Structure 1
Amino acid sequence: MNSIIHNTSQKETWSVQLKRGVEQFVRFGWDQALSCLFPVVIFASLAITQIVPLPFLPRYDWLLIIFLLMQVWMVRSGLETRDELKVITLFHLIGLTLEVFKVHMGSWSYPEEGYFKIFGVPLYSGFMYASVASYLCQAWRRLKVELVNWPAFLAVVPLAAAIYLNFFTHHFWVDIRWWLSTLVLIVFWKSWVTYEIAGTRYRMPLTLSFVLIGFFIWVAENIATFFGAWEYPNQTDAWSLVHLGKVSSWLLLVIVSFLIVATLKQAKGKISANRKSVQNLPS
């Protein structure tokens, strides 16, 4: 009799845990979906403008207008804060600079016409990078992300700078991406990222989160090139899968993005803490 009661109780416990797990997964998915709103609009716009030609302006210019309107709406609706807009604008400039250089070096191209182009690069392309920053900022806020064992500022900033510069220098010098990847593992080996879902906190090794985000951006890159966002040399005649080796490039770019966002978040947190301490001082 006791065995039957025990088994029934155990089944109920498993049932409750399974239900709880499904609810948490759905909630996590919903928060992720909201955080990915800007990238979703980008991919939808790429697909629609590829299928349905818009009048008066070239496709690249329509994409720029759509993305600008989306950015304005997100800020005005409260989905994005003004501080997040500043970070996103910074990433737009960083990404546009990289795009101009890469197009000049023949890494990829934007073959379609457009009025709003700079050195062969349409201005909308910077939003590809800005959308990564948008996702990071919004996911950070919605999931209440916290960092555990975050390395020292003097280790993080030079590493981020070296990763970004390697995107340029490897065209003229040796490519040190694998050395940089090894440094990332060493520097962030003990670092964790914690996040909250419906009042419950979870944690994940920071390096694992880098890999996961980098992989999904590679998947997104395949979707983007399929809809003509840009074109690699091997895709000139017909679309083909982006080489899996590009995952390493996106992984490093995600690391740079994360390091910049994390550094800015921590700097803002320190400024807010200092203001509170000053306000609490006796007059």
Structure 2
Amino acid sequence: MSPDPSQAGATRRLERRLGDWARARLPGAVADLVMFTLKMGWSALFGGLLLIAILLSKTIWQADWALQRYDALFLFAISVQALLLILRMESWSEARVILLFHLTGTAMELFKTWAGSWEYPEAAIFRIAGVPLFSGFMYASVGSFIARAIRNFDMRYVPYPPFWQTVLLAVAIYVNFFAHHYLPDIRWLLFAGTVLVYGRTMIWFNTGRWYRMPMVLAAFMASLFLWIAENIGTSTGTWLYAGQTEAQMVSLAKIGSWYLLLYVSFVTVTIAAPGAIIGARRPDVGASPIAEPQKQG
């Protein structure tokens, strides 16, 4: 499903005004950097608000308050989602992405906390087993960012790999997150698989002018930012890995985990909001020979 036309039109008008303002006052490259930063921030709106809520709640929460902090985070996430939809700042296709991520993320959380990989040390009413329900929204924020960034940057993936390959790789990555507790960890083969499947894919994105970046590089850079965000979560004691204290940084190995999970996230977005990929027109970049993204089967 394509984004809501009225929503997309309002976003485009705002971007045009900001772009005109920036380009009238700043050198071209600086103006593009400003627009890139603003679009990235707008794309990460839900995740950014959730991260702020985690930090703020840790600072102000009192043990004798009637509402548990985890429950407040859960109610906050639901309220933000409702508000974004009411204000038409988020499309229904993006809301479907968030729901699907919440379900798949909660399933992973249930298994990982049961396996002892990490824990949520505080109490909560809204929880299943040892997993507070707000945790699913942390995965959903990743899906929300990807879906919103595709729309805000008018992203194109060229050449787009065969859809069956992307799904097969995503399933293998997701299964390995569970199976490596019982079988050999094949993450190095999966790292190689991301290069084989997406190694030729360039992400074209628009900040007023078209730029491109290898998809593998973009995924790695995004995994670094997610690792930084995760350190904020553990430093507040919102969740902790096995044997970790709040003063300790998250292992650098988790960057690789986030890198792989991003490919699962991307494919989930293509399934939940296929209009984000299918039917995208070729970017107008002069005489550059850009192939159309392959339609999904």
Report the TM-score, using the length of structure 1 for normalisation: 0.86
Q: Distance in 1 between matches of 2:157 and 2:135?
A: 30
Q: Distance in 2 between matches of 1:100 and 1:176?
A: 22
**5+ residue gaps, structure 1:** 1-15, 274-283
Is 1:101 matched with 2:118? Answer: no
Aligned to 1:41: 49
Aligned to 1:112: 122
Aligned to 1:232: 241
Is 1:68 matched with 2:59? Answer: no
Amino acid at match of 1:53: W
Query: By how many angstroms is 1:229 displaced?
Result: 2.1
Going from structure 1 to structure 2, the CA distance change for 1:253 and 1:268 (only over 3 Å counts) comes to closer
Report if aligned partners of 2:166, 2:267 keep a CA contact under 8 Å in 1: yes
Report if aligned partners of 2:120, 2:132 keep a CA contact under 8 Å in 1: yes
Is 1:177 matched with 2:173? Answer: no
Higher relative contact order (CA 8 A, sep 6+): 2
Is 1:223 matched with 2:266? Answer: no
Query: By how many angstroms is 1:24 displaced?
Result: 0.5
Q: For 1:202, what is the secondary structure of its paired residue?
A: strand
Is 1:166 matched with 2:176? Answer: yes
Going from structure 1 to structure 2, the CA distance change for 1:218 and 1:43 (only over 3 Å counts) comes to same
Query: By how many angstroms is 1:233 displaced?
Result: 2.0
Amino acid at match of 1:218: W
Query: By how many angstroms is 1:49 displaced?
Result: 1.1
Is 1:154 matched with 2:164? Answer: yes
Q: For 2:139, what is the secondary structure of its paired residue?
A: helix
Q: Distance in 1 between matches of 2:147 and 2:108?
A: 21
Query: By how many angstroms is 1:34 displaced?
Result: 0.9
Aligned to 1:260: 268
Q: For 1:235, what is the secondary structure of its paired residue?
A: coil
Q: Distance in 2 between matches of 1:271 and 1:132?
A: 23
Aligned to 2:204: 194
Q: Distance in 1 between matches of 2:221 and 2:277?
A: 27
Is 1:242 matched with 2:250? Answer: yes
Aligned to 2:288: none
Bigger proportion of residues as helix: 1
Is 1:209 matched with 2:236? Answer: no
Amino acid at match of 2:40: Q
Once the two structures are superposed, what CA deviation does each residue of 1:138-170 show, in whole Å capped at 9, x if it has no partner? 111110011101111221111110000000000
The number of residue pairs the alignment matches comes to 255
Q: For 1:195, what is the secondary structure of its paired residue?
A: strand
Going from structure 1 to structure 2, the CA distance change for 1:114 and 1:263 (only over 3 Å counts) comes to closer
Once the two structures are superposed, what CA deviation does each residue of 1:114-136 show, in whole Å capped at 9, x if it has no partner? 11110100000000000001111
Report if aligned partners of 1:35, 1:139 keep a CA contact under 8 Å in 2: yes
Aligned to 1:5: none
Report if aligned partners of 1:46, 1:228 keep a CA contact under 8 Å in 2: no
Q: Distance in 2 between matches of 1:234 and 1:21?
A: 46
Aligned to 2:14: none
Amino acid at match of 2:239: W
Report if aligned partners of 2:155, 2:205 keep a CA contact under 8 Å in 1: yes
Report the TM-score, using the length of structure 2 for normalisation: 0.82
Name the Cα RMSD after superposition.
1.9
Going from structure 1 to structure 2, the CA distance change for 1:203 and 1:60 (only over 3 Å counts) comes to same
Q: For 1:194, what is the secondary structure of its paired residue?
A: strand
Report if aligned partners of 2:93, 2:273 keep a CA contact under 8 Å in 1: no
Is 1:135 matched with 2:145? Answer: yes
Q: Distance in 2 between matches of 1:257 and 1:41?
A: 20
Report if aligned partners of 1:210, 1:251 keep a CA contact under 8 Å in 2: yes
Aligned to 1:9: none
Amino acid at match of 2:115: M
Query: By how many angstroms is 1:262 displaced?
Result: 3.1
Amino acid at match of 1:151: P
Q: Distance in 1 between matches of 2:60 and 2:158?
A: 48
**5+ residue gaps, structure 2:** 1-23, 282-297
